[in-house]
Structure 1
Amino acid sequence: MAITAERIKQLRKKKGISQSELAELIGVKTNTVSTWERGTRKPDFEALNLLSNYFEVSFEYILGSSDKEEARVVPTQDELDELALSALADELYDNVKKYSMLSNKSQKMIDALISATYQMEKSEGELKGESFDITIAPKKEMKVGCL
């Protein structure tokens, strides 16, 4: 994440804009840009897409997996869908991991909240739409063992 933080800061300074100006341009809060540049958070998929478009560089350059600062090639819809799904899978995995570490009492509270919210939105016709099947597996870089 340190590379991502440095890249965002470097690209912003190269454009000669402040953190608050960048935040306004891409529609996030100033403190969000600050957390990215400090490396305490990384941009989500949507923000990464906005940064890539604004700075005219690839996702890979911002994330540090490429040193080529070339103009970004517009990804296909399939590539965007895959990246969004990957980000969702990472978020779901992190949440399942946290959930598994909670006490039984806390897990039951969360289960009840999800069930009640689902039933409420279903009865009001406010569910987002399609459901889908997922498989949750440990991230490749994780080592299996006791926490």
Structure 2
Amino acid sequence: MTASKFTSVDMDVIRPAVLNVLRLYRTKFVSEFGELILCCDDRKSWRKEIFPNYKASRKKTRAVAPIDWDNLYECLNQLKEELAEWFPYKVIQVDKAEADDIIAQYVNGCGSDGKRLKQDRTLILSSDKDFVQLHQFNVRQYSP
């Protein structure tokens, strides 16, 4: 496939879609769980350094998908910067860490600001079933 056959992502479409979803969840959960914190994967992962085949099958899937992945990641990075600068959300990304790692640290009381206490109510907003291992007192998960 040539680059011209890839489907590009239009920021004028993706931005309002993401903002509407964030607004929906913030409105739905802010009174019970407080602020919305967005945890983002870093482009590189410590797991890939240790296990080179980690998520290797995803490369094969991406190779045949008609999506311009570079364009998609560029749009997501731009959106992430806009959210951090202009919106009432904390956006956290840690070098070589996945969002799962950041969420686990936060839930276990090791947040980057050191302020989360075990008694704080926390909601993990994700359909990832791996987060079940983080369920504990005052930690719930909502799967969209």
Q: When the two structures are superposed, what TM-score results if normalisation uses the length of structure 1?
A: 0.23
Which structure shows the bigger proportion of residues in strand conformation? 2
Structure number with bigger Rg: 1
* TM-score normalised by the chain length of structure 2: 0.24
**More relative contact order in 1 or in 2 (CA 8 Å, sep 6+)?**
2
